[in-house]
Chain A
Amino acid sequence: MTTLADTKAGRGSTGGAGSDVPPAPPEKLRRRRPHGAQWAAIGFAAPLLAYLAMFYAYPLWRNIDLSTHDYNIRAFVQGDADFVGWQNYAEIFSSSLFAQALANTAFFTIVSIAFQFSLGLALAVFFRNYFPLSAPLRALFLMPWLLPLIVSASTWSWMLNSENGIVNSFLGAFGIGQINWLTSPETALLSVTLANIWLGIPFNLVILYSGLQNIPDDVYEAASLDGAGAWRQFWSITFPLLRPVSAITLLLGLVYTLKVVDVIWVMTAGGPGSSTTTLAIWSYREAFGTGQPDFSPAAAVGNILILVALLFGVLHLQLQRRQEAR
């Protein structure tokens, strides 16, 4: 099982991260380098460049193309859809579903992240203590995150089942009557968020735990000598020193949660009504969720999501730069 040394070695293996992307050589040096070396570099990067062009750039371009035309399944095959410009976007923004999808996305994302992060942090601090079995137990915590989402989502569906679910049966023992977790609009969004929190805890735990490992022990020893209790140590040492790692954890959590489809789709398919329809679900449902695919509005919603992702991509880079400068 994992020992501390194991974990360290594990991190060490990626740990080139220390130097991260190599600093670009100064311009003068670069110009003096023979062209041959640059050609070799291009040669090694060529498969990736071709791959990115074919399987990222082209699909994304097709997506923009879809969102500015009026595609239906027939036009899709024949390729003769009418150009409609911003019309799909205008329809999305004026749709009554837009406000709800936005609100659902905000609730799902913010509540998920708040709980994933705080529970992940609490557990990371707890597992920082070395006690018998701490390493294997911490490893077991990864399990929910490694399972196929469809497996976890169907398990949660069954646990939250109104009549035969273990959750209602458990609550029933306390005299709480049957709750229709997934089939009533009041609780459905809460239910999928709950499952998503569970799914996200391991990820937060691992990143925050590795962040904790980098806070030197002597800082705590010094604080301890000064008479700082556990609570004081957390707020005065752990929390501030962990801030850069926390920022990235939250940011990644945000990006991952914004694009969640499978969990919600398997548990509620965005329903009942549109009570669990997030932007990602909306896009998925328009394109693939009904018998009649409506790719153009779906692509428009998808592109809005991409814009949000891009925004966070830039933020991510800024954060990394700041950390490198540290």
Chain B
Amino acid sequence: MTARRAWWKTVLGLVFTGIMLFPVYWMFNVSLTQTSDLRSSPPHWFPWAPTFEGYATALDQQLPALGTSLLIGLSTVVLTVLIAAPAGYAIALLNLRGGRVLSFGLIVAQMIPAVVMAMGFYAIYVRLGLLNTVGGLILANSTIAVPFGVLLYTAFMAGMPKELLQAARVDGAGAWRTFISVVLPVSRNSTITVALFAFLWAWSDFIFASTLNRNGDMIPITLSIYQYIGNNTTQWNAIMATAVVASIPATVLLVLAQRYVAAGVTAGSVKD
């Protein structure tokens, strides 16, 4: 009886998931549709005669942009962790004076609209010659993840067993040594979570890319898709193929690291 009821719920769950993921399926479906079938009415519910021409076009034209996005994503991760981990350590374990005020500042920082940041950055980058550079974009993208990273590290490190740190002190380790050989290794999960989010946010950024790197030689994939839509409104299979390819990191990370994703969403926003 209970087993049968449970299966009934599974069916319902499958239906809900199906409805929710329909747009994702549709993106996939269109990406495999032949150009001649794109305008057919009604549209085909399944890719009848799947073609990879969309993917061929996409990869042919979008590979450099994908590479740029990868570079930006990974660099943003490194920058974010380098700044956030020591700061979390200072606030959570070294009792940094003013740590509470700083944490509040970081919460507020997360609420500042990206469009506002983009204008400020534009004003600065014009002078510094950082407009249309990948480096400028990495710096700008990291502002999304750094406050989140510091708050997450702080929350995690504050819950670290005090015995661990005392043991290190007894062994004569200073603050730096304790950080490198005790705190960082124990915080591995936090590092994974921070890195995951920093990468995803940098990978999906559109606002900074479209304002700070609009005319660059190396543009990220999001901007490339946007320009593609403008230039190429007929080739939706290629656009959707690019979209599918651009979604791969999210999909891979979802499968590999979903528990960190759930952890990251709730971190710092909800008290467990």
Mask of A126-154 contacts with B, CB within 8 angstroms, 1/0: 11011111100101111110111111101
The 8 Å CB contact of A252, one of B207, B262, B269, is B269
Given contacts A17-B272, A76-B123, contact A146 B26 (CB under 8 A): no
B203 on interface, CB distance cutoff 8 Å: yes
CB of B254 within 8 Å of the partner chain: yes
Contact B206–A149 (Cβ < 8 Å) = yes
B270 CB–A CB distance under 8 Å: yes
Give the shortest distance, in Å, between A178 (CB) and chain B (any CB): 10
In the complex, the answer to whether B115 meets A287 with C-beta atoms within 8 Å is yes
Whether the Cβ atoms of A134 and B10 lie closer than 8 Å is: yes
How many angstroms from the CA of A165 to the CA of B271 in the assembled complex? 43
A261 to B75 Cα, complex, angstroms: 24
Residues of B within 8 A of A172 (CB): 42
B49 at the binding interface (Cβ < 8 Å) = no
Cross-chain contact B91 with A146 (CB below 8 angstroms)? no
Interface size (A, Cβ < 8 Å)?
Answer: 122
* Chain A 164-181 near chain B by CB (<8 Å), digits 1 or 0: 111001001100000000
Residues of B within 8 A of A241 (CB): none
Cα of A287 to Cα of B208 in the assembled complex, Å: 13
Mask, B213-250, CB within 8 Å of A = 1, is 01000000110011001000000100110010011001
A324 to B89, CA, bound (A): 21
Interface check B121, CB cutoff 8 A: yes
Q: Dominant SS at the B interface?
A: helix
Q: Which of A87-95, A184-192, A307-315 contacts the other chain?
A: A307-315
Contacts of B265 in A (CB 8 A): 203, 206-207, 210
B253 within 8 A of A: yes
- Closest residue of chain A to B179 (Cβ to Cβ) is A44
Interface residue? A22 (CB, 8 A): yes
Residues of B within 8 A of A (CB): 6-7, 9-10, 12-14, 16-17, 20-21, 23-24, 26-27, 30, 38-43, 82-84, 86-87, 89-97, 99-100, 102-105, 107-109, 111-124, 126-127, 139-140, 142-143, 146, 150, 152, 154-160, 174-176, 179, 189-190, 193, 200, 203-204, 206-207, 210-211, 214, 221-222, 225-226, 229, 236, 239-240, 243, 246-247, 250-251, 253-254, 258-272
Question: Which 4 pairs from chain A and chain B are nearest by CB?
Answer: A59-B120, A16-B159, A10-B259, A148-B204
CB pairs A–B below 8 angstroms (7 shown): A24-B100, A44-B86, A63-B123, A129-B9, A137-B14, A169-B42, A305-B115
